[in-house]
Amino acid sequence: MEFTAEQIAGILNGEIVGDPTTAVTGLAKIEEGTSGALSFLSNPKYENYIYTTQASICIVNSTFLPSKPLPKTLTLIKVTDAYACFAKLLEVYNNLSKKQAIIEQPNFIDESAKLGSGIYLGAFTYVGKNVEIGENCTIYPNVYLGDNVKIGKNTIIHPSVSIYDSCSIGDNCIIHAGVVIGSDGFGFAPDENGAFQKVPQIGNVVIEDNVEIGSNSTIDRATMGSTIIRKGVKIDNLCQLAHNVEVGENTAIAAQVGIAGSAKIGKRVMIGGQAGISGHLHIADDTKIVAQSGVPSTVKKATTLMGSPSFPIDDFKRSFIGFRRLPQLMNRISELEAKIETLISKKE
């Protein structure tokens, strides 16, 4: 697909500095720009690249003033926020490359299923009894939709996703490859002989609108009731959310996070990579949890937590300074002990 600077400026309501007829056919980072590529500059750390880039068009902030001569082949589009505008263009590009509505063969679609208009359904997809798929959904090959699953409109489900029986997905969601939604929660009870007996997991998973789930993440069905992911939540790759977890609106969860059963995560919480959260606790709205932290107890007030077990980040930093000084302090203690022993020997 080809776009001119004039067309791009029209989409972004930007100001052109250079040739409005300059055309681009692809996107590139500014340091990797080639002829025919569109790039952007928002971080001042990358400014030097704009004086050497081979990109044909570059989106910049309206406040940008070059300190060196720009390449003669480069056309600028000045906007209020270069990063946000480039993201908008990526969304436009993504929508233009969306799959055309078609139901590929072979696949299995139960006769009781209800399919909305304008959907793309990839080959080797299984659609179970009473499944409902909203209009304009894109479902890639090798997806499994169990009985009574409901998918909202405009949702994208990438290859090899498994959604177990009775789970619900909202509108405008994106579920990446390999995600498993609705597998059994980790529920076992020891009998009189100490052998673990499985506790049936009869609940489901409810995912609200505008949620994105990264590749190979898993969200377990509830023992009873629902595991709930509220609207606007963003989950990275390789995350594990256990049975009966609830995640509040617009929370962001980075890769390899584990959340144990029945934990309740508030709104707008940010959880860094590889953090672990114990079960049956509450995390207050607007809390931030630093990567690799372990949260063992309820957080009643918004704060930034760090460490394992975690505690407020300022306290952690002070503690860490002390921890780094431990070898020096231990040497000093050894020296003092030696001096004390020498003094005792002299007195004797």
What would the two tokens of residue 313 be?
A: 């980040």
> CA neighbours within 13 Å on the CB side: how many for 281?
16
User: CA 234: distance to chain centroid?
Assistant: 4
CA 68/CA 66 separation, integer angstroms: 6
Catalytic residue among 158, 243, 280, 282: 243
CA 43/CA 158 separation, integer angstroms: 32
CA 251/CA 262 separation, integer angstroms: 17
CA 332/CA 345 separation, integer angstroms: 20
Query: Which residue do the tokens 């004086």 mark?
Result: 51
CA-CA distances (angstroms) from residue 177 to 35, 59, 61, 76, 172? 33, 32, 35, 37, 16
Task: Give me the long-range contacts of 278-283 (CB less than 8 A, separation at least 24).
Answer: 279/242
Catalytic annotation present for 243: yes
Question: Closest Cα to residue 233, out of 244, 248, 222?
Answer: 248
Q: Are 105 and 123 in contact (CB under 8 A)?
A: yes
Q: Are 171 and 156 in contact (CB under 8 A)?
A: no
What would the two tokens of residue 160 be?
A: 């090899």
Active site residues: 243
